[in-house]
Structure 1
Amino acid sequence: MRRVAALHYHPDGYGTAGKPIIGRRVAGEEFLRALVRHGGLQALRALVQDRAQAEAFRAHVAAIDPVLETSAHTYEDPAGFDDAGMIFVPGAAMSTYAWWRRRHRQDAFSLCGVTHTTATDRAMDAIGDLLVAPLQPWDALVCTSRAALGMVRRLLDEQGAYLRDRFGTGRIEGPLLAEIPLGVDTASFAPLPEARQRWRERLGIGAEDVAAIVVGRLSQVTKFTPAPMYLALERAAQGASRRMHLILAGYFEPEQARGVFLDGAAALCPSVTVHHVDATEPSARREIWSAADLFTLPVDNVQETFGLAPVEAMAAGLPVVVTDWDGFRDTVEEGVHGFRIPTLMGGPGADLALRYAAGMDAYSNYVLGASLGVAMDIPRAAEAYRTLVEDADRRRAMGAAAAAHARARYDWAAVIPRYLDLFDQLAELRRGGGERTPPQPGREPVPLRPDPMRIFADYPTTAIAREMRFALAPGAGLDALRARARVPGVVGRGSLLPTERQLVAMLTRLAEGPATAAELAALAPPGRGARGLVWLLKYDLVRRID
């Protein structure tokens, strides 16, 4: 069977080059590469806004597989996706695409979105809109972890209860919810012995020293509060038989976070030697893993939903010490691949929600405020660090188990087939029918984005009608048409009008005698004919006759 896939393509969603390295960009970049490499595709389509995006898409795919058939289609050509059967959207905001599809045919193809950050107001609105937009049983939202799935279900449950109460209806449903993790190219994280020696010499890490590493965005606001980690590291370092190092590999966001991380380390873990490496540089990003003996990331922030970094660390053969939090709870098996440190959440949160919703707090203050109510077990973290520092055999065993686990479950070669199975499931549901809220004849398919000529019908004296009759204005013809068209401002949005040849055909017909609007409009493509007739009337090339 010929397998064709499609995705909504915008360069910002599928590339990290020249941009801050954030989770959704890394995930999008890796997903596209993996879909091309492991999807068994004969063709890949893209939904784009313009020619520049189309060219960027073709170049992007060609760099991965120069022989894969590609095509790009704008929103004006939904039929270009009928053979694909689905369009992947790199986020949870699927409602726009569902309304767009409704103008075409709701059973033409499925839509599949994926969660990234779910804590922003925009993300929550997008998830809530899934119950209002015309999503169908053959659409799906992929949640990347059990924690993300639980959050989405709670949000939809609350929104659904409100909608049922508000409108007195019994059935409120959204798309299918599926759980599929993010993936990594595990081979690209294989340890590099030469890089290990080079980086450890550069940083002054001795052969018997033990280095922990944090890789990612160094932000207390949107990633994690470093102070508890420092307290645990200091407890582990005191009395340790080996010198301990901590490598902070990433970039500070915002730059003021430099003091939070570096000054905080100096104050709270003076027994640990702390290094900062700017891992946004490609070679450093690839090599720095090899300098470490263990990975740690004690996230306490609701911004996180899956967490790629621990999976990347496991692929690099590192044991991990992470908080028992969000997606980490799925990816790391306690005592096998490393340690998951228990977390506790508590305190009020309604005030945070109110201030954020009212615009009193920015998103950064909202998530930072929420992290105040999250704590990890510092003694347990210190014990985990001490275990891995003192026991080289345990480090090696856990690192080997982690690498095998990452290859088996989180390599894209294992993840992409799960997406393909989901796409096949959606296709089967589509074939089974059961369309929800089909468009009704005479009604707007997209109520809040209607045809302006219909919704503003009370503005003009009258509207054009098929039976209206028109005649050629005195002196009208090709020369007059071209003279009008040369005047600045006369041909605004000319691509929406009939061609010059089609307009001349209208004038030629009227030279034979009066004609109806229906007859004249038929001389140009549907929709453009009537618009072209009004344009001729607008510039006194034709006249209405009673």
Structure 2
Amino acid sequence: MNEKRIWGTLDPFYESGAVLGRKVANARFMDFLLRADPFDEYHFFLGSEAAARAQRETLQRMAPSIAARGGFSVMDRRELPSRLAATRYHCFHQSDCMTLQPHLARLRNARSRRIFPITGVTHSLSYADYGRLFLQHVWPGATPRDCIVSTSTAGVAAVENHFEALRQGYGLESVPGPVVRRIPLGIDPQTFEPAGRSGQGPCSLLVFGRISHYSKMDLLPLLRALHRLFSDGLDPASVRLVLAGWTEDNDDYTPVLRELAANIGLDLVIRARPTEAEKTAIFHEADVFVSIADNPQETFGITVLEAGAFGLPAVVSDYDGYKDLVRHEVTGLLVPTVGPQCTDEADLMAPFTYDNHYHLLLAQQTAVQIPALAESLHRLIADPDLRRTMGQAARERVCRQFAWPQVIEQYVRLWDELNDEPVDEASLRGVAHPAQVQFARVFGHYPTQSLHKDMLLAAGRTGQGLYRGRDFPLLYAGLERVIDPEVLKHMVFLARKPVTVAEMLERLGGLDNPLDPGRAEYHVLWALKHDILELTVFAGS
């Protein structure tokens, strides 16, 4: 009989609240994973009952056929140790590699039936605290089955550069970490149909995304490039620039753009916070997509894919993930950029300032070459046939390489390949993670003494009542996963005559459902705390 293929995660992937690129990408990943349905079961371990309840409702709505066959299990995270011990998982995947992935690897190593792959995806990679977070991945328990998935070639190199700097700075050259692989984000091409513009009227240039000079791109170079073209004889009436996307309330950036556009005679339209229906109309009205990202906060560039799916040629900066998304002279034009060799000011000040402060410092050190930008824009503004040819090539490439079904296939192949990587499971079981607080080690001097093997245990008064059925243990919520009342009765039976801690732990490890040493010790201490057991001679007396 074939063993079930079970996929697990600690994340819901479906999140409420403000619409962010990360949230949309994670939700679409889950949509298409469930459509492909490559696993027998999907296990979600969430942090609260409210989150679990919302997740069950969402999964029932999104994949009723999987729900009908009992393919979903949504559980409390506190069930992880027992589930890992009882279930043979094929893989776990996290919607973000930064926070829990290395700690899940430690729990897997200690408690799971097998060392399954753990993967997590990157989003933005440029936040000041990411050095600390990436450091957690570099530890002796990391295995070749642990993998960070970056969405772009540039992102893969950025993650590897993080690890290189950490290993050199902390003297960890020989300490393993996860492997890094590239799998892009995707889109559903069926939701992005080209409009078939006639090419008549002014050429409409579209910028779509956050309209922000500190977290996306500085748009002043774009206006400078158009001013250069107008000065060289291009009729301003032949061009319209549309800026669409998220804007902040009381933003002083868009008034500056409006004023500069008016000064150079540019027809500028700003469409703030469009709905999905309005977004489609905006793309249908466009002739050329423009994005001159200059900020390391941008790692992939999903709007570039969307523009290609809409059949638009792109003029984009030769920067970050855009290098993967636009084939120069085929689906659009890449504009050269110049970046810094030294970022001392941002490096030193990032820990003390807000994200937008140091991202602005960094972005203003990245120059999109304005003469080349002007030339690229002019080529497409002046040539409707070139726009159509590149736009058609862009859509064909997006549908072939970046549709979500193909992306999901890459993940399934990755999980299978990682499972084949050799690991020494026995050597990993007891390796502690240095970033995890070992509470007994750190706070072991707080009590009068620690439990040790030669202490003598006897049944306490409450324990005797428990054994005779005249009393019962009171378990706080959350402890029912740790304390087994039947084990407590067995402990009282064993302690009807004084018994050493060592013998008690040994007997608990030999039950039909044996307790591991840590959980057995927890039962002994909890029983002492609640008068189910008592020390026959308290060493402090």
2:44 to 43, 46, 59: 46
**Normalization by structure 1: what TM-score?**
0.83
Secondary structure (helix, strand or coil) at the match of 2:399 reads helix
Question: Which range is displaced more, 215-224 or 42-51?
Answer: 42-51
Secondary structure (helix, strand or coil) at the match of 1:96 reads helix
Q: Cα deviation per residue 1:178-197 (whole Å; 9 max; x = unaligned)?
A: 1222111111111358xx99
1:390 maps onto 2:382 in alignment: yes
> Is this contact kept in 2: 1:136–1:436, CA < 8 A?
no
CA RMSD after TM alignment: 3.6
- CA distance in structure 2 between the aligned counterparts of 1:437 and 1:62, rounded to whole angstroms: 41
Secondary structure (helix, strand or coil) at the match of 2:129 reads helix
Give the aligned partner of residue 121 of structure 1.
128
1:297 maps onto 2:291 in alignment: yes
Secondary structure (helix, strand or coil) at the match of 1:477 reads helix
Structure-2 change in CA distance of 1:182 and 1:106 (3 Å): farther
> Is this contact kept in 2: 1:232–1:381, CA < 8 A?
yes
Deviation at 1:85, TM superposition (A): 1.7
Give the aligned partner of residue 201 of structure 1.
none
Deviation at 1:284, TM superposition (A): 2.3
1:433 maps onto 2:423 in alignment: yes
Question: Which range is displaced more, 494-503 or 212-221?
Answer: 494-503
- CA distance in structure 1 between the aligned counterparts of 2:87 and 2:519, rounded to whole angstroms: 25
Deviation at 1:161, TM superposition (A): 2.6
Note the 1:494-509 alignment, pairs <5 A.
Answer: 495=480, 498=483
Give the aligned partner of residue 18 of structure 1.
17
> Is this contact kept in 2: 1:98–1:133, CA < 8 A?
no
Deviation at 1:102, TM superposition (A): 2.3
In structure 2, what residue type is equivalent to 1:186?
A: P
Deviation at 1:58, TM superposition (A): 3.2
Give the aligned partner of residue 371 of structure 2.
379
Deviation at 1:336, TM superposition (A): 1.5
> Is this contact kept in 1: 2:131–2:166, CA < 8 A?
no
Give the aligned partner of residue 226 of structure 1.
219
- CA distance in structure 1 between the aligned counterparts of 2:293 and 2:268, rounded to whole angstroms: 19
Give the aligned partner of residue 179 of structure 2.
176
Give the aligned partner of residue 72 of structure 1.
74
- CA distance in structure 1 between the aligned counterparts of 2:482 and 2:409, rounded to whole angstroms: 46
Give the aligned partner of residue 60 of structure 1.
58
- CA distance in structure 2 between the aligned counterparts of 1:162 and 1:451, rounded to whole angstroms: 24
1:457 maps onto 2:451 in alignment: no
Deviation at 1:501, TM superposition (A): 6.7
> Is this contact kept in 1: 2:115–2:425, CA < 8 A?
no
- CA distance in structure 2 between the aligned counterparts of 1:336 and 1:55, rounded to whole angstroms: 48
Alignment length, in residue pairs?
516
1:190 maps onto 2:203 in alignment: no
Note the 1:58-207 alignment, pairs <5 A.
Answer: 58-68=56-66, 69-73=71-75, 74=77, 75-79=80-84, 82-93=87-98, 94-105=101-112, 107-132=114-139, 134-163=141-170, 166=171, 171-191=174-194
> Is this contact kept in 2: 1:102–1:445, CA < 8 A?
no
Give the aligned partner of residue 200 of structure 1.
none
- CA distance in structure 2 between the aligned counterparts of 1:436 and 1:309, rounded to whole angstroms: 46
Q: Cα deviation per residue 1:184-223 (whole Å; 9 max; x = unaligned)?
A: 1111111358xx99xxxxxxxx962322212212221110
Question: Which range is displaced more, 91-100 or 110-119?
Answer: 91-100
Residue segments in structure 1 that go unaligned for 5+ positions in a row: 198-205
- CA distance in structure 2 between the aligned counterparts of 1:174 and 1:491, rounded to whole angstroms: 38
Note the 1:318-333 alignment, pairs <5 A.
Answer: 318-333=312-327
In structure 1, what residue type is equivalent to 2:129?
A: R
**Normalization by structure 2: what TM-score?**
0.83
Deviation at 1:259, TM superposition (A): 2.6
Give the aligned partner of residue 203 of structure 1.
none
Deviation at 1:502, TM superposition (A): 6.1
> Is this contact kept in 1: 2:88–2:114, CA < 8 A?
no
Question: Which range is displaced more, 447-456 or 403-412?
Answer: 447-456
Secondary structure (helix, strand or coil) at the match of 2:436 reads coil
- CA distance in structure 2 between the aligned counterparts of 1:80 and 1:436, rounded to whole angstroms: 15
Deviation at 1:536, TM superposition (A): 5.2
> Is this contact kept in 2: 1:347–1:373, CA < 8 A?
no
1:247 maps onto 2:235 in alignment: no
- CA distance in structure 2 between the aligned counterparts of 1:228 and 1:211, rounded to whole angstroms: 18
Identical columns (%): 25
Question: Which range is displaced more, 476-485 or 409-418?
Answer: 476-485
Secondary structure (helix, strand or coil) at the match of 1:220 reads coil
